[in-house]
Amino acid sequence: MFQKHNDRPFLIAGPCSAETEAQVLQIAHDLKDLSVQHPGQAIDLYRAGVWKPRTRPGAFEGNGAQALPWLRRVKEETGLRTTIEVANANQVYEALKFGIDVLWIGARTTVNPFSVQEIADALKGVNVPVLVKNPVNPDLDLWIGAIERIGNAGITQLGAIHRGFSTYAKSKFRNAPYWEIPIELRRRMPEIPLICDNSHICGNRVDLLEIAQQALDLNYDGLMTEVHHTPDAAWSDAKQQITPLVYYELCQKLVLRRETTDNVSFLEHIENLRHKIDEVDLEMMNLLARRMRLAEDIGRYKKRNNIAILQTARWNEILEKAYQQGRERGLNDPFVEKFLTAVHQESIAHQTKIMQEENNPAKV
């Protein structure tokens, strides 16, 4: 259900929160009217937050079940299918009672397997489409586990939403994308459609197009974007919402990439380049193996001289030198640090094994 169309991604749009009946209906009608004028950007699902789990009490936490009839009116008056977030069994029952077409499980719920299982139990025997957002923390197994729990309940139309991850590191984003996590999700579960929630990744309006396009460049199936008729006056997440008109202008700028082509010249050329990459990868593997053998030699020498494995000053020296060398070769500091940290940890593991074997000769 959530796969991209031939000429555009699967589009989900609507306000962060269902604030009033008039607000919900106006935004829906605005989106519908613009979709008539621009069929290439017609939205597939109208989203609105009914129950809003907030970080701290006192913020607007949604109108709850009283907002569900408003969404039923959206469907009746515009023909748009609707989707909302649910966090427990009672919310599932209420949503289905009012004909909500698609449910999604939010990041704060995905992080708790007990809550996800409660929702899964409530969904047994009901084949409603379900989208599962990534957990707040960057834990791929939690994300996959939530998807599996919903699938085990008999839900056959499943999708995943990438909305970014909380981090203490400074970033221009509200939630760090950590693209490597949804990429790995796609590798492990290639059958699951992948939607990018660019609003919650960005936390601002300025970067929405950049993140949306990057998601499409990574072969995502769709986008979820928060749209409000008066964003600055929104009751929640005002900074990341845009007007319906701006939303459609954004959609018009998007470039949808094809996954492959039957162009023989392209296929031959890219296959040649990939072969060269394979050769470089093999060369790197050989070099890494050689490096680990040297690390083992260092481990033996440290053991004989009663020297600790971890040498913080040496590690800092390696990193600082690598940053400079990386910059000279077009590599950014975060990549250099991540790569060398993995290599360093593997070197420590090899040295630790050497130490333990020499401490326990019977195991050798």
Intra-chain end-to-end CA distance of the chain, in Å: 56
Q: 264-363, superfamily in CATH?
A: Chorismate mutase (1.20.59.10)
Name every residue whose Cβ is closer than 8 Å to that of residue 246 and which is 6 or more positions away in sequence: 205
Q: What is the pLDDT of residues 124-136, one digit of tens each?
A: 999 899 999 999 9
Q: How confident is the model at residue 358 (pLDDT cuts 50, 70, 90)?
A: low
Q: What is the pLDDT of residue 98?
A: 97
| Domain 10-253 shares a fold with domain 264-363 | no
Q: What is the pLDDT of residue 359?
A: 58
Above 80 in pLDDT, residue 255?
A: yes
Which neighbouring-strand residues pair with 224?
A: 12
Q: What is the pLDDT of residue 57?
A: 82
Name every residue whose Cβ is closer than 8 Å to that of residue 88 and which is 6 or more positions away in sequence: 115, 118, 119
Above 80 in pLDDT, residue 55?
A: no
Model pTM score: 0.87
- Taking the C-alpha atoms of residue 82 and residue 72, their distance in angstroms, rounded to an integer, is 8
Sequence spans of domains, the chain? 10-253, 264-363
Q: How confident is the model at residue 364 (pLDDT cuts 50, 70, 90)?
A: very low
Q: What is the pLDDT of residues 272-331, one digit of tens each?
A: 999 999 999 999 999 999 999 999 999 999 999 999 999 999 999 999 999 999 999 999
- Taking the C-alpha atoms of residue 279 and residue 274, their distance in angstroms, rounded to an integer, is 9
Name every residue whose Cβ is closer than 8 Å to that of residue 331 and which is 6 or more positions away in sequence: none
Reduced to 3 states (helix: H, G, I; strand: E, B; else coil), residue 222 is strand
Q: How confident is the model at residue 53 (pLDDT cuts 50, 70, 90)?
A: confident
Rounded to the nearest 10°, the torsion over CA 91, 94, 97, 101 is -40
- Taking the C-alpha atoms of residue 32 and residue 166, their distance in angstroms, rounded to an integer, is 34
**Which CATH number, 3.20.20.70, 3.40.50.620, 2.102.10.10, 3.30.1490.100, labels domain 10-253?**
3.20.20.70
Q: What is the pLDDT of residue 40?
A: 74
Contact criterion met (CB below 8 Å) for 87 and 81: no
